[in-house]
Amino acid sequence: MASLKDIRARIESTKNTQQITKAMKLVSAAKLRKAQNNIQNMRPYALTLRKVIADIAITNKVSHPLMEQKPEVKKVLLVVLTSDRGLCGGFNGNINKFAESYYKQNVKNFEKIDFLFIGRKGSDYFTKKGYKAIDSITRLDKDISYDLASHVADRLMKQYLSGDYDEIRLIYNEFKSAISQQVVCETLLPIDIQNTSFDTTGTAVGFSVDMIFEPAPQQIIEQLLVKHFDLQVYRSMSESVAAEHGARMTAMENATNNAKEMINSYTLTYNKLRQEKITTELTEIVSGAEALK
């Protein structure tokens, strides 16, 4: 059985840990508020831009290599978006397990499946498993910016247009709330233009989808597609950062509560052991006094 001194040391150590986890929770809560406002302001613009591109492409029958569906998908690039740091519950573990499961289920269906890691946790996990990646990008939590997203998007577009890959998929955590994140496997390229704001089936009454654009639709599409793709990559990074802060805040709150329970348990054990020693000493004193009579 541990001595009173050992139990007191455990109590002090647990209290110090509780202070650290409480401070980390407050820091994550402050960062989450900023990241949440950023992603909530960005979502409507990103979704509307995709609809505008779809409207122009469908109504004017405009084609572009980034929107053309390949007749057969043989080469796939998986972009796995995780965090650089831990202590955020199952945030990284869920993504890594999902990506690994996707690879094992589809590796026989394609000629090749390559990985591009954004975030150190994903890179470390798959490196230990023996998977090789074409590249790893870290420091996402500190250096996240539109310029970084534009750089990554430009690289992905060049690899797709050069024929290195027939499809590029992004696996990341989509932010739902401070306590909820959802793993999403989203097809980045080719760009999906099925979701439009028009009724292209011709069933709408009194509305025509014939529209005149200035400048030419092809020119608009070429400019909007690059902006759209950059924005989607940036939005995904922002979603992941917001989800990371939410997961870390929740994990630190749980750790703080667990530390409180451990302190109560150690204190109870300490009091019982201390009372037992006091009772033993009193018994010895009374027995000694009786023996002297």
In contact, 76 and 114? CB cutoff 8 Å: yes
Of the chain, the end-to-end C-alpha distance in Å amounts to: 36
Catalytic: which of 53, 76, 88, 224? 88
Helix (H, G, I), strand (E, B) or coil at 119: coil
At 184, phi and psi to the nearest 5? -120, 135
Distance separating alpha carbons of residues 29 and 81, to the nearest angstrom: 21
Nearest in space to 232 (alpha carbons), one of 146, 136, 123, 158 = 146
Query: Are the C-beta atoms of residues 186 and 79 closer than 8 Å to each other?
Result: no
Residue 1's CB is within 10 A of a number of other CB atoms, namely: 7
Cα 259 from Cα 11, distance rounded (Å): 10
Tell me if residue 185 is catalytic. Answer: no
Q: Are 141 and 120 in contact (CB under 8 A)?
A: no
Q: Cite the active site residues.
A: 88
